[in-house]
Amino acid sequence: MPAESPRVYATRGLPGEALGELAERARLSVWPGPGPPSPAALRDAVGEAEGLLCLLTDRVDAALLAAGPRLRVISSCSVGLDHVDLAAATARGIPVGHTPGVLTETTADLAFALLLAAARRIPEAERFVREGRWTPERAWEPDLLLGRDLHGACLGVVGLGAIGRAVARRAAGFGMRVLAWSRTRREAPGVEWRTLPALLAEADFVSLHVALTPETRGLIGAEELAAMKPGAILVNTARGGIVDEAALARALRDGRLAGAALDVFEREPLPPDSPLLALDGLVVVPHIGSASLATRARMARLSVDNLLAGLEGRPLPHCANPEVYG
Ligand code: NAP
Ligand code: GLV
């Protein structure tokens, strides 16, 4: 590797070939793990780096940027960028890359899987069988594990971005009526527009797809949960901070909501003593929205392409702060 090759720091190994190819074009160091580097370890590591390849577990804030005076490009292997202080990066003239598009359908698939899992109580049913409770006395019990139908029901999509629209398409295929609210009003085939309060009052299922920003933090709080249709089911594959988890736990405990399914949490990993884990009607998975083999490889490829473009002074294929280019 020539001494003039740029130095790149990656906070984790990634699936697929892309990181190997990056190693042929840059002096690449990768945090050895296990898990993500601590903020202090990351600050120590970026000292000489010109490129940073990070994940949503890495806080990229003004302190980190100050610790990396040579940084010229930041590339996150995620579409969400709530872990990056975009304004601070822009102030330094550093383009920030992310991975929209390549994970849209995979994440929408998971949202739909969660919707079905919560509606048809699949994890609860699986525990029932595995725990030996499906005894001859309980063979085909007429009222065993009764759930909700998706067909003929109404889905409310909160945030009609790429993933929200992909979920709306799936819902139409399942014979659902689809309502949507988003910050920017836009038409989508088969989707009826509502205000957020109207959507919450009318939908049997609500699926969240807004980015986490100061404006959307706590968007679904106690008041919004109380405004939901009694017996509704909430699905969150966006970010944990959008929902007030304590209020959600209360709404489930009180029976106000029939269930919820969460891929994302206020604190990740979800602490083992979280009150959420004591609730039967709750389906939880560990932030696996984009976790298919093909999609993670595509995300790795795009994040490396973003990084290389930045190092070579070209516009990033997907730049979240294009204003750096004037
Ligand atoms: P997108 O196409 O950019 O859509 C973003 C959505 O967030 C749009 O509906 C947008 O509203 C809304 N939004 C952005 N800023 C807002 C604000 N300040 N106030 C209100 N709404 C705001 O992104 P996407 O690809 O659909 O992804 C959406 C989010 O899903 C990501 O940001 C990420 O947090 C999450 N995600 C999670 C997983 C997972 O593994 N669980 C995977 C991928 C993504 P308008 O367009 O109407 O303005
Ligand atoms: C995953 O949550 C992402 O933002 O890519």
The answer to whether residues 197 and 248 belong to one domain is: yes
Residue 280: predicted pLDDT: 84
Domain match, 172 and 216 both:
yes
Question: Do residue 127 and residue 274 come from a single domain?
Answer: yes
* Residue 157 shares a structural domain with residue 226: yes
- Burial class, 100, CB count within 10 angstroms (exposed 0-12 / middle 13-18 / buried 19+): middle
Q: How far is the CA of 283 from the centre of ligand 1 (A)?
A: 22
Regarding whether 131 and 28 lie in a shared domain, the answer is no
Within this chain, do residues 91 and 126 fall inside the same structural domain, yes or no? no
Computed over every residue of the chain, the mean pLDDT equals 97
Is it the case that residue 264 has pLDDT exceeding 70?
Answer: yes
Q: Are residues 96 and 109 located together in one domain of the fold? A: no
pLDDT higher than 70, residue 100: yes
pLDDT of amino acid 4: 83
Task: Give the residue, out of 57, 79, 210, with the most ligand 2 atoms within 8 A of its beta carbon, to mutate for a pocket test.
Answer: 79
Say if residue 48's pLDDT is above 90.
yes
**Pocket of ligand 2, candidates 53, 55, 56: which has the most ligand atoms within 8 Å of its Cβ, to mutate?**
56
- pLDDT band for position 195 (cuts 50, 70, 90): very high
Atom 3 (ligand 2): residue with closest C-alpha? 78
Model confidence pLDDT, tens digit, residues 282-316: 999 999 999 999 999 999 999 999 999 999 999 99
The rounded distance, in Å, linking the Cα atoms of 11 and 307 is: 13
Task: Give me the pLDDT at residue 1, please.
Answer: 65
Question: 203-238: per-residue pLDDT in tens?
Answer: 999 999 999 999 999 999 999 999 999 999 999 999
- Full domain range(s) for residue 96: 7-102+293-325
Query: 20 alpha carbon to ligand 1 midpoint, in Å?
Result: 30
Residue range 89-112: average pLDDT?
A: 98
Q: Distance from the CA of 73 to the center of ligand 1, in angstroms? A: 23
For ligand 2, what atom is nearest to the CA of residue 80?
4
Overall average pLDDT of the 32-40 stretch: 95
Is 254 exposed, middle or buried, given 0-12, 13-18 or 19+ CB atoms closer than 10 A?
exposed
Q: Is residue 1 included in any domain, yes or no?
A: no
Q: What is the pLDDT of residues 70-79, one digit of tens each?
A: 999 999 999 9
Q: Catalogue the active-site residues.
A: 239, 268, 287
The closest-lying atom of ligand 1 relative to the alpha carbon of residue 101 is: 25
| 54 and 185 inside one domain | no
pLDDT for res 326: 84
Q: Is residue 2 in a domain?
A: no
- 112 and 250 in a single domain? The answer is yes
Distance of CA 11 from the midpoint of ligand 1 (Å): 24
pLDDT above 70 for 317:
yes
Mark whether 263 and 122 lie in a shared domain.
Answer: yes
Q: In total, how many domains does the chain have?
A: 2
**Does residue 78's CB lie within 6 angstroms of at least one atom of ligand 2?**
yes
Ligand closest to 239 (CA) is 1
Task: Supply the CATH number for residue 142's domain.
Answer: 3.40.50.720
State the pLDDT at residue 168.
98
